């Protein structure tokens, strides 16, 4: 067992006006994740520490935090990879409710704004078949776990919270590319707007931090191509 120094950002809305850092010493070996360390703090050192978590296996997307300034899933980040003090803060660009818990209302509103479901007039009971090639077109973009790390990596979202952001635009692309979907016309007004795909300047850090390697930056910039095509086609329509 090695001892690690954690500096955890604390914020108690009932007593604090702004967040502060608090130092904790936690034991860890080569299997201890950042989430394990945070739970150790909560269970053994300070029961008031607020954090979000659920599955511990990088699928629920709940335990996103900033580790030394970089958005990470707590359960997928290990103490063994850090050799000095580890600063753990809540996800950047979101409002902090308490300690490491952020308000994700805006993020969820952006997700639902792009109509993330199949839109078609299909009402039969037979299976809706799809070829492997049709599946491959959108499959990569369908692996999002809505953890919000890409929003914390995106300075454009930090500057303008109205920007739809990487995950929402990726999700729009995911449905627009699905052969079973006919809802593209309903999604394009969102993507075409100044808070849509064009709000992105291809910083690209979102793709770097994505725990599922979706490459959201590619999806957003593919959406720009779609948006440009949509604009040109609309010029020739009465």
Closest to other proteins by CB, 75 or 209 = 209
Smallest distance from other proteins to CB 177, Å = 12
CB-count exposure of residue 61 (10 Å: 0-12, 13-18, 19+): buried
Closest to other proteins by CB, 26 or 214 = 214
Q: Coil, strand, or helix at residue 167?
A: helix
Smallest distance from other proteins to CB 220, Å = 9
Smallest distance from other proteins to CB 189, Å = 22
Smallest distance from other proteins to CB 167, Å = 17
Smallest distance from other proteins to CB 13, Å = 4
CA angle 112-115-116, nearest 5°?
80
CA 223 to chain centre: 18
Q: From residue 128, give the alpha-carbon distance in Å to each of 123, 125, 171, 176, 180.
A: 10, 9, 20, 16, 7
Q: What size, in residues, is the chain? A: 238
User: Exposed e or buried b for every residue in 176-209, given b needs 16+ CB within 10 A?
Assistant: bbbeebebbeebbebbbeebbbbbbeeebbbbeb
Contacts of range 133-136, beta carbons closer than 8 Å, 24 or more positions apart: 134/178, 134/179
Interface residues with other proteins (CB under 8 A) are: 11, 13-14, 16, 18-19, 69-70, 92-93, 95-97, 103, 155, 158-159, 201-205, 208, 215, 217-218, 221-222, 224-225
Closest to other proteins by CB, 56 or 224 = 224
Backbone Cα Rg of the chain: 20
Closest to other proteins by CB, 130 or 221 = 221
Q: From residue 48, give the alpha-carbon distance in Å to each of 44, 100, 146, 167.
A: 11, 11, 26, 31
Closest to other proteins by CB, 95 or 185 = 95
Smallest distance from other proteins to CB 187, Å = 19
Closest to other proteins by CB, 186 or 225 = 225
């Amino acid at each position: 067992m090695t001892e690690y120094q954690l500096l955890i950002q604390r914020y108690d809305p009932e007593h604090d006006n702004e967040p502060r850092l608090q130092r904790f010493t936690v034991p860890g070996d080569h299997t201890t994740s950042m989430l394990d360390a945070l739970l150790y703090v909560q269970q053994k050192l300070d029961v008031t520490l607020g954090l979000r978590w659920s599955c511990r296996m990088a699928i629920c997307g709940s335990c996103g935090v900033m580790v030394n300034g970089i958005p990470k899933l707590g359960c997928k980040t290990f103490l063994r990879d850090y050799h000095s003090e580890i600063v753990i803060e809540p996800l950047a660009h979101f409002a902090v409710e308490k300690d490491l818990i952020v308000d994700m209302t805006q993020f969820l509103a952006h997700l639902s704004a792009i109509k993330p479901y199949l839109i078609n007039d299909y009402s039969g009971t037979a299976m809706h078949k799809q070829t492997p090639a049709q599946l491959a077109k959108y499959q990569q973009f369908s692996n999002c776990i809505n953890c919000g790390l890409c929003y914390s990596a995106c300075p454009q979202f930090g500057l303008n919270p109205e920007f739809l952001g990487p995950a929402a635009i990726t999700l729009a692309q995911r449905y627009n590319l699905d052969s079973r979907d006919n809802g593209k016309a309903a999604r394009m007004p969102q993507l075409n707007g100044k808070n849509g795909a064009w709000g992105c300047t291809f910083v690209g850090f979102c793709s770097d931090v994505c725990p599922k390697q979706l490459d959201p930056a590619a999806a957003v910039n593919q959406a720009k191509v779609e948006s440009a095509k949509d604009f040109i086609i609309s010029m020739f329509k009465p």
